[in-house]
Amino acid sequence: MAREKYDWDKIKAKYLSGSYKNLRDFAEKENINYDVLRRKASKWQVEKSQTSRTKVTKIVTKTIEKIAEKESDRNARILNISDKLADKIEKAVEQLENYIVTNKVKTKTITYDSDAKKPSKEVIVEEETRDIVSGIIDRQGLNYLTAALERIQKGQRIAEGLDKVEDVENDNVIKDHAKRVQDAWANR
């Protein structure tokens, strides 16, 4: 009986990189004598286990890094939006005592036909002017702005890791976001 020659380096590389159930499965799929393979590859299974663990570890690590990067980018965007919103609130605070007053003036001009003794032409001109006047502070507007600013501060503190989700009272939107950020951070 003639001995078959195998390229064992190539076979080993194929076995280690493949997803075979066991050596017998590999031998059948690659058309290799199982007994010969078993003797030659006695230590390959330990190496394959180590390779598989290394592969899984790398996959998990890269996945966590990508999730953390995505959450980090999202956090940065939220902080950027929070800064822009805080600027808008600052401008709005300066305008809390200002009101827009609209004045409308209607002028009606009638031209009479003295021969016919009736109006011959009627023109109505409307003029509208808007003025900004100072008055008492809009308390409802102040309450809205205060609540918005408070939410921004809570969200920023949680995003920056200064507060915990549990510290936020009755604000599910902030709690949900903060929980996702903390989970992503913990799993990195």
pLDDT at 170: 53
Bridge partners of 101? 131
pLDDT at 150: 82
Q: End-to-end alpha-carbon separation of the chain, Å?
A: 58
* Contacts with 180 (C-beta within 8 Å, 6 or more apart), sequence order: 71
Q: What letter represents residue 132's amino acid?
A: I
pLDDT at 62: 92
In contact, 106 and 128? CB cutoff 8 Å: no
pLDDT tops 70 at residue 166: no
Domain ranges of the chain: 99-135
Q: What is the pTM of this model?
A: 0.44
Binned at pLDDT 50, 70 and 90, residue 106 comes out as very high
The number of C-alpha atoms within 13 Å of 180 and in the hemisphere containing its C-beta is 14
